[in-house]
Amino acid sequence: MAALGPPPTIALLQSNSLTNLVQAELERMILSGELAPGEKLTEMALAGKLGVSRGPVREAFRMLDEAGLVRTEKNRGVFVRNIPIDEAVEIFDLRAVMDELVGRRLAEHITTVQQKEINALVDAMERAVKAKDADNYHLLNLKFHDRLVEMAGNRKLTAIYRKLIKELSLFRRLNLADGWLLPISANEHREIVKSIAAGDAEKAGRAMYAHAMESKERTIENDLRRQSRAATSKAAPDNTLRGMMPESRLRRASSSIGLRAA
Amino acid sequence: MAALGPPPTIALLQSNSLTNLVQAELERMILSGELAPGEKLTEMALAGKLGVSRGPVREAFRMLDEAGLVRTEKNRGVFVRNIPIDEAVEIFDLRAVMDELVGRRLAEHITTVQQKEINALVDAMERAVKAKDADNYHLLNLKFHDRLVEMAGNRKLTAIYRKLIKELSLFRRLNLADGWLLPISANEHREIVKSIAAGDAEKAGRAMYAHAMESKERTIENDLRRQSRAATSKAAPDNTLRGMMPESRLRRASSSIGLRAA
DNA sequence: TTTTTGCAGATTGTAGACAATCCACAAAGT
DNA sequence: ACTTTGTGGATTGTCTACAATCTGCAAAAA
């Protein structure tokens, strides 16, 4: 029996419900920034846009909510989540120990083939730095870390790591990759690869941890700088917050105390 | 303004949709074992049992799926997930580094009040050991680690840690808390508390990590022992697998190749 | 006997309808 | 002016109905 499995088109229909497709599409739109943090997602509008009914859209909402990409307020709607700096910091700390585990495991298990692949990525990143191509560098950097995690061989770790990365991408202030700090990050990558290749688990773990924490520090500094910049130029207020958190909710909440007195 | 917030009953209605209630109830039933791993969850049946329509049940399914507590097969239904030993091991490794982070942070930040609370929990566990009360010990142990994580002050870490614990509880073989290994675990707890109180971040981290890994090793050994036991007594086959993975699926999959030939 | 084929019942996937709630704005009262 | 109170339109929450798919069994074929 040559059980090749069903042909691709059939496999697609077998595994993909509308809910899954909607979920994937919404996730893509959110991660690409097409749907910005704080933006309200209206069931009917999205259902119409995607050509489905509200049911699958609602189910996709529940998945995205559980995944931390949107936030649901009862009777008010679903909003693309906005990750505050506090939470971003927490995620960085968490990612750091996960990366530490990755470093330890890789130093023990990595193959020469894998080493070549990783080295190629680091090379490509250095080329991107020289070319001052921040976008490409950012993509390669994501790929680099994602591959390292994947190679560590812990699927649960990989899944959670990716979830955290997705959430981090909702931390708006991260997007502007101020190009001048790229070379620093690139050097750290060489260090990581070297200690992994040397098979020194503890050293590789520390290198990964340190790298993640540096990344965290850079992000915080970047955020502070950005905040002060925004405070300086009050003349041109930041409009991106529009529709992000309808403060009328607070009004309603406090006024509802009236029910108690009545 | 004494903004006390809305009275409890109103707050309940404000925040709890049927979907949320169904999700919480299903989660409770799953974690309590009322719904066993592998068991099929039928929309209509559950909807009827809970007195709601299928919509909220389906939405709750999507949440539980994303949370890793159930598994969805298109056009076939939703099943309580069964965590295999491989995945349990992965979760243990992940939890170990998270606990390591907890130890480091706590050694830096813990207050005397928190130390008292933790000490009380360890005391209670030792009493449970002396009384050979495995159930209570198990509950206290969960509480102990949960409080430690919570005290570390990283909400994301806490959330993911709890998610992992929930998934681990679906690892069937874990349930039988073979009482004889309790004292060992209890001693390790004292060690952890001591190094945290000493303010030695690295030592506390290592202690937590080691403790988690010991727990992993004990679980693996326990599983091996259980497997060999099951293999010995083939006369009384294990019925708990019934309805867990309808193998007729394989039949259908291979026969679907026929479509290709046709 | 063994395998294949074709229903019949049950279950899931999706759509649409109705009820409950919210929001913005206008009108009335203080 | 400022707060309170209605009211209309829009959106979400929930339910019910219908279509698509699956499972199991029985009848037919080999």
Nucleotide nearest to B252 (CA to C1'): D22
Position A234 scores a pLDDT of 46
Instruction: Supply φ then ψ for residue B72, to 5 degrees.
Output: -110, 130
What does the pLDDT look like over A51-74, one tens digit per residue? Answer: 999 999 999 999 999 999 999 999
d(CA B137, CA A213): 37
Nearest CA in chain B to A167: B156
Give the C-alpha separation, A227 to A241, whole Å: 14
Residue A43: the pLDDT is 96
Residue B181: what pLDDT? Answer: 63
Locate B207 and state its tokens: 């202690």
- Cα torsion B42, B46, B48, B53: sign: negative
| Summary mean pLDDT of chain B | 83
Instruction: Calculate how close chain A gets to B254, using CA atoms only, in Å.
Output: 6
Q: Which residues of A touch B90 (CB under 8 A)?
A: 154-157
Q: Residue A115, CB half-sphere, CA atoms under 13 Å: how many? A: 16
The list of chain A residues with pLDDT below 50 reads 1-6, 234-262
Distance of CA A79 to the CA centre of its chain: 17
Q: What pLDDT does A175 receive?
A: 56
Instruction: Pick the closest to residue B81 from B29, B45, B36, B43 (CA basis).
Output: B36
Half-sphere exposure of A69 (CA within 13 A, CB side): 27
Contact, B98 vs B157, CB < 8 A? yes
**A163 phi and psi, to 5 degrees?**
-60, -45
- The DSSP output letter for B33 is T
Q: What is the pLDDT of residue A6?
A: 46
Tens-digit pLDDT string for chain B (262 aa): 434 444 666 666 777 899 999 999 999 999 999 999 999 999 999 999 999 999 999 999 999 999 999 999 999 999 999 999 999 999 999 999 999 999 999 999 999 999 999 999 999 999 988 888 888 888 999 999 999 999 999 999 999 999 999 999 999 766 555 555 666 777 889 999 999 999 999 999 999 999 999 989 888 888 887 777 666 654 444 434 333 444 344 444 433 333 333 2
Q: Number of Cβ pairs closer than 8 Å across A and B?
A: 109
HSE-up (13 A, CA, CB side) for residue A2: 3
Of A10, A19, A101, the CB nearest to B97: A101
Considering only residues 221-260 of chain A, list those whose CB is below 7 Å from strand C. 246, 248-249, 252
For strand C, is any atom closer than 7 Å to the CB of A18?
Answer: yes
- Residue A190 has which token pair? 């060489």
pLDDT at residue B208, as a whole number: 96
Residue B17: exposed, middle, or buried by beta-carbon count in 10 A (0-12, 13-18, 19+)?
middle
Q: List C-alpha distances in Å: A121 to A116, A126, A191.
A: 9, 9, 14
Residue A212 burial (C-beta neighbours within 10 Å; 0-12, 13-18, 19+): buried
Are residues B253 and A16, on separate chains, in Cβ contact within 8 Å? no
User: How large a percentage of chain B has pLDDT more than 70?
Assistant: 77
A3 touches B: beta carbon within 8 Å: yes
Going from the C-alpha of A252 to that of each of A79, B2, B31, the distances in angstroms are: 19, 15, 37
Residue B194 CA from chain centroid, whole number: 27
Chain A segment 52-71 residues within 8 A of B by beta carbon are: 55, 58-60, 62-63, 65-67
Nearest CA distance, A75 vs chain B (angstrom) = 8
Instruction: Look at phi and psi of residue B2 and say left if phi exceeds 0, alpha if psi is from -120 to 50, else beta.
Output: beta
Q: What is the pLDDT of residue A261?
A: 31
Chain mean position to CA A105: 23
- Cα distances from A59 to residues B22, B43, B65, B69, B152, in angstroms, run 14, 14, 11, 16, 34
Closest Cβ opposite residue A10 in set B4, B98, B259: B259
Joined together, the tokens standing for residue A174 give: 């991260």
What is the distance between the alpha carbons of residues A192 and A203, in angstroms, rounded to a whole number? 9
Tell me which residue of B28, B32, B59, B57 sits closest to B42, measured CA to CA.
B57
Interface of A with B in 184-243 (CB under 8 A): none
Question: In the sheet that B40-41 helps form, which strands lie side by side, from edge to edge?
Answer: B40-41, B77-80, B70-73
In chain B, residues with a C-beta closer than 8 Å to the C-beta of A212 are none
Helix (H) or strand (E) holding A70: strand A70-73
pLDDT for B254: 39
What element of type H or E holds B40? strand B40-41
